[in-house]
Amino acid sequence: MEVSGKKVLVMGAGRSGVASAKFLAARGATVALNDARPIEKWSPDAAALKSEGVGFLAGELPGWLLDQLDLLVISPGVPTKAIPVRYAERAGAEIIGEVELASRYLKGRIVGITGSNGKTTTTALIGQMLKDAGLPTQVGGNIGTPLISLVESSREDGWTVVELSSFQLETIVGFHPTVALVLNVTPNHMDRYESFTDYAAAKHRIFMNQQPGDLAILNADDAVVSSWANGLRAHVTSFSVTQELGEGLFLRGREIVSRTTDGERVLLTRDDLTLRGLHNVENVLAALAAGLACGASPDSMRETIRNFSAVEHRLEFVAEVAGV
């Protein structure tokens, strides 16, 4: 994607917006950064962009500016139906998000993880599994590190593990995960979406560019997610904590089992998990499916799971008081 000389507006001066503006300016684009907040309330990182030639615009955007744009990069918090976004699109600008922008430059292959619950834990676990298996791996996206900031460190032989929100998936165009995983879909962000169906459709977009050689990992216990299996181009594998599957990963008693057309094997037991709760068994099953697809060995992943600590603020040990 050639951006040199193009007029680009980045909406949203948060982490992903600042990283996008910095990236684009470094590649020769004429960049303006916009945020609803007054400029004096922007972060130091955002303020520092002025020295790199980025223009600042606070508040409402003028029509004359939107008429001139070649590209509009919107942050996840900016709705795609916002009036300035629709205006710019009608005027001929391409509308994408930071994840889509990054994917046009990233080297190597992508593991994409989304879901209403559990995606941060699962993303962190997959990233650690792949690193421990000796695979070149980096982790970013909704987990806290803007994907665009990982472009320079990406490798042709590496994996980028990406946590994706529904907001980020709304603005993908060519984003292509080799492995795409949906943990669950339950009502969320109903202030943003007109219906639960619209929200689920945003999650489903993670699969839109997958091909037959790719892998889609689905939760067989989620009625919405499991219903997508027949309509995908990628090969589908599933995971379950309630039923044995013909193909996929499942919980049988206390055993975590992987079953393929070649047979089945016990990968580990619940006693190996330091993560608490049945929902975390689901996260582990999903992570194992992704790890196997990326080439991590079962023995290596077992050790990672045994040593993996819960992500900060998720069922985290705080203190013991009077034996409690």
Q: Which residues are marked as active site?
A: 119, 142, 189
- Cα Rg of the chain (Å, integer): 21
Strand positions, DSSP E, the chain: 7-11, 30-35, 55-58, 71-74, 94-97, 109-114, 137-141, 159-163, 179-182, 215-219, 235-240, 248-252, 255-260, 263-269
The H or E element spanning position 106 is none
Q: Select from 146, 153, 210, 213 the least CA-distant residue to 182.
A: 210
DSSP codes of every residue in 204-241: HGGGTT--TTSEEEEETT-HHHHTTGGG-SSEEEEEES
Q: Of 104, 110, 99, nearest to 168 (Cα)?
A: 99
Phi-psi group of 144: left, alpha or beta (phi > 0 → left; psi -120 to 50 → alpha; rest → beta): left
Burial of 13 (0-12, 13-18, 19+ CB in 10 A): buried
